Amino acid sequence: MSQITNYVAGQFSQINLDDDTKVLISIAPTEIKILQLGWFGFPKRQLYSFDEASMIRISNQYDPDLLGYLSCMVQALPNVEAVIEMSSSLDRITLMKDDATNE
């Protein structure tokens, strides 16, 4: 099972997926980046980025602790492809809910 190997509240979380890929969730004031890590923990590629509007929607609709929420979601996934799909789906779903609420 995937596991969280490093967690600093409000800043970042590192997760080792089932397929031994290392993923970093990094929180900045205006975005959240999910990165695949390579040798020595250097970023290899960006898997997904949530902008400030997405961060607000996720926080309002699901959990104000964005890092904790996303860490738990990613920890339940087996590989990078699933992380990308989950992130994209979460972004779309929160946007659709927000649009429906505003109608």
Between CA 15 and CA 71 the distance in angstroms is: 8
Let me know: does 76 contact 2? Beta carbons within 8 Å: yes
Would you give the DSSP letter of residue 9? Answer: T
Question: Strands 43-51 and 12-16, how do they pair?
Answer: unpaired
- Please determine, for residue 101, whether its predicted confidence score (pLDDT) is greater than 90: no
Q: Is the pLDDT of residue 99 over 70?
A: no
pLDDT of residue 103: 60
Q: What is the mean pLDDT of residues 25-40?
A: 94
**pTM score of the predicted model:** 0.87
Q: Is the pLDDT of residue 71 over 90?
A: yes
